[in-house]
Amino acid sequence: MARKNRPLKKVYKKKEAMLYALWRSMPLVFHELPVSKLASMGCDVDDEIFQKLITCKTKTQFKEMFHLSWETLADWDVNKEVQHMINDFNKQSNVLRFKKDIDFHFTQATIREADAARVKLWKQLYEGWVEKQRFGVQSEAINDLAENIKKLAEKNKKNV
């Protein structure tokens, strides 16, 4: 049955659909590289699922490894939810690919310019610095409670 004659189906096997999207977004070279090279690139080569994904070179192998039908794969190929997952994985991959260069150039610009906004952002990103914020108390009940606690504390100080 041709794809155009069937209605679009909802994704029921979410885990397998996510793995399919991840597999589709993997660079083809991953399937050819030795495990040592993948490990040096930061891949978790000890992960059983990752090992399965890099051994699948074709849709037929993927289908057989995860016990799926051709119809399911055809549905996922046109499903917007699965396409969105593939796009997200591709974006994440691109971000990770350029992260080191971006971090390096940002750090260099921060050193060179030393403006407050860049320094603040640099400290937040790399040192985990959090800006202190003061929140004023708005409720009268809380203010009354705070006053009562202060009075009790003063009374206890006098008694000690």
pLDDT digits (tens, 9 = 90+) for 4-15: 555 567 777 888
Q: How far is CA 7 from each of CA 10, 51, 92, rounded to the nearest angstrom?
A: 10, 34, 31
CA gyration radius for the chain? 28
Written in H, E and C, the secondary structure of 98-124 is: HHHHHHHHHHHHHHHHCCHHHHHHHHH
Residue 56 forms part of a structural domain: yes
Please report which residue ranges of 27-139 form alpha helices under DSSP H: 35-40, 48-55, 59-65, 70-78, 80-113, 116-127
Residue 151 forms part of a structural domain: no
Can you give the pLDDT at residue 2?
47
Residue 84 forms part of a structural domain: yes
Residue 5 forms part of a structural domain: no
- Are 75 and 9 in contact by the 8 Å Cβ rule? The answer is yes
* C-alpha to C-alpha distance for 67 and 20, rounded to whole angstroms: 12
Residue 139 forms part of a structural domain: no
Q: Based on the structure, what is the number of domains in the chain?
A: 1
Quickly state the pLDDT bin for 20 (edges 50, 70, 90).
confident
Share of the chain above pLDDT 90, in %: 0
Residue 66 forms part of a structural domain: yes
Range 46-70 burial, b when 16+ CB lie within 10 A, else e:
eeeebeebbebeebeebbeebebee
Q: Where in the sequence is the domain holding 58, given as residue range(s)? A: 12-127
- Across all residues in the chain, what is the average pLDDT? 79
Q: Which of 18-22, 39-43, 145-149 has the lowest mean pLDDT?
A: 39-43
Residue 98 forms part of a structural domain: yes
Of the two residues 148 and 61, the one the predictor is more confident about is 61
- Whether 36 has a pLDDT exceeding 50, the answer reads yes
- C-alpha of 18 from chain center: 14
Residue 6 forms part of a structural domain: no
pLDDT digits (tens, 9 = 90+) for 56-98: 888 888 888 888 889 888 888 888 888 888 888 877 776 666 7
Contacts of 121 (CB under 8 A, 6+ apart): 110
